[in-house]
Amino acid sequence: MLLFEASYFCLLGIHTSVIPRHINAPQVQIVFSKRKRESQLRFLKMNKIVFLILQTAIQLASATSLRSIKPNVLALEVKDLNSHEVPLDCGEQFDGEDIHWKMNGEIIPEKGNHITVTIDGLRGGNFTCHKPNGDLLNYTLLLVHPVDFNKVVLTQSDDKEFVSCTAKNYSEHFHCSWKWHPKRNDRAVVYYSAIRNSSFINCTLDADMYGMTCTDVAYCPYSEESMSINLTLLVRNEYRLEEHHRTFLIRDIVKPDKVTLTKIEDHVFKWSPPDTWSYSCSYFPLSYEVKVIPDMDSNPDCDYMGRRVEKNETNETQYTVNKKAYKFCVRAQDRFTKKAWSDWSHHYHGKKHKQSSE
């Protein structure tokens, strides 16, 4: 009997040394069942806690946030296109007054200095608060910023960027540009800035709203550039807000202007760095790509890559062509950084002495 009880205890995973000798197998089974139920209850409680944590995380992930872009402009950041409630204020100085509201010029039922409006999807708006006689007191432009959605206000350029920045030389000036989506007609630039080392760079929006021109007065071309420029651009179409960022160094965006090309004698060409390039040229050297394209009826551009194209890279500024009819092309690139090439300069020497330069 004792041998049977010891075997029973072992099957239950209970060491016999901890079982009083007067307790028999059925009594141990009751104890074990009680412990099993307690373990199951603890497991269920733990599952409930995990579920509540996950539920909270999901709610936080889908929550909205409201941020101020600049005075009178708010951005509602959303991760879905459901309806969201947004609090609006006319202004602390108007507490206690009889205030009426309009959305995009239309009267809405909400009244008072502090109201809550419901925003459906991307339908933001221009909210204005008024005295009972209609006099304007204040306004809030409420934009909706769908986070992690595809960009639809701007389109990508050839370099796969929504915002492209270039500098003609190693100076304090650079220019950034963008392309509006052709179907976005009610568009505007909401905010733009460029910052380096926590200091704002002086930037001006181009008149056509297709770019911005910046001047970094603290930039020195003769010292090592270690701090990046951080550019922020906020644009909108109607009330949908879109945010774009670029981070770069001046040396990474330098693109020389076209070189000045001259034909000095038959089939001999000479060129010089662009007038806008940084001097001295020994400190900011350029390398050049030369292409000689045989004369064709199609008159291909300088990017043509046919088998008969003569192509060379050189640090010299003179080249002799050993053909009778051709298009001669040359462009420049910073010799050290090997970044962007300039646009092509070319001379066309066609049949019957037909010639043209650009």
- 268-272 β-sheet, strand order: 260-265, 268-272, 318-320
pLDDT for 291: 96
To 10 degrees, the CA torsion angle through 107, 111, 114, 116? Answer: -60
Q: What is the mean pLDDT of residues 126-150?
A: 96
Compare 10 and 77 and report the one with higher pLDDT: 77
Q: What is the mean pLDDT of residues 88-106?
A: 95
In angstroms and rounded to an integer, the radius of gyration of the C-alpha atoms of the chain is 36
Q: What is the mean pLDDT of residues 138-146?
A: 97
Q: Is the pLDDT of residue 70 over 90?
A: yes
Summarize pLDDT for 246-263 with one digit per residue, the tens: 999 999 999 999 999 999
Would you say 19 and 28 are in contact if contact means Cβ atoms under 8 Å apart?
yes
Would you say 270 and 347 are in contact if contact means Cβ atoms under 8 Å apart?
no
Which residue from 103, 137, 131 is spatially nearest to 117, judged by alpha carbons? 103
User: At which residue do the structure tokens 């708006």 appear?
Assistant: 125
Q: Is the pLDDT of residue 7 over 80?
A: no
Arithmetic mean of pLDDT over the chain? 85
Summarize pLDDT for 178-229 with one digit per residue, the tens: 999 999 999 999 999 999 999 999 999 999 999 999 999 999 999 999 999 9
Predicted model pTM? 0.76
pLDDT for 300: 87
- Give the 3-state secondary structure percentages of the chain, helix then strand then coil, rounded to 5: 15, 45, 40
Q: Is the pLDDT of residue 231 over 50?
A: yes
Confidence label for 279 from pLDDT (cuts 50, 70 and 90): confident
Angle between helix 2-11 and helix 25-62 axes, rounded to 10 deg: 10
Q: Is the pLDDT of residue 237 over 80?
A: yes
Beta strands 100-103; 125-130: pairing state: antiparallel
Q: Is the pLDDT of residue 11 over 80?
A: no
Q: Is the pLDDT of residue 243 over 80?
A: yes
Summarize pLDDT for 16-62 with one digit per residue, the tens: 444 444 445 455 455 445 555 666 656 555 554 444 444 434 443 44
Task: Tell me which DSSP letter residue 342 carries.
Answer: P
pLDDT for 302: 94
CB atoms within 10 A of CB 188: 11
pLDDT for 295: 85
Percent of the chain scoring above 90 in pLDDT: 68
pLDDT for 1: 42
Q: Is the pLDDT of residue 296 over 90?
A: no
Helix (H, G, I), strand (E, B) or coil at 142: strand
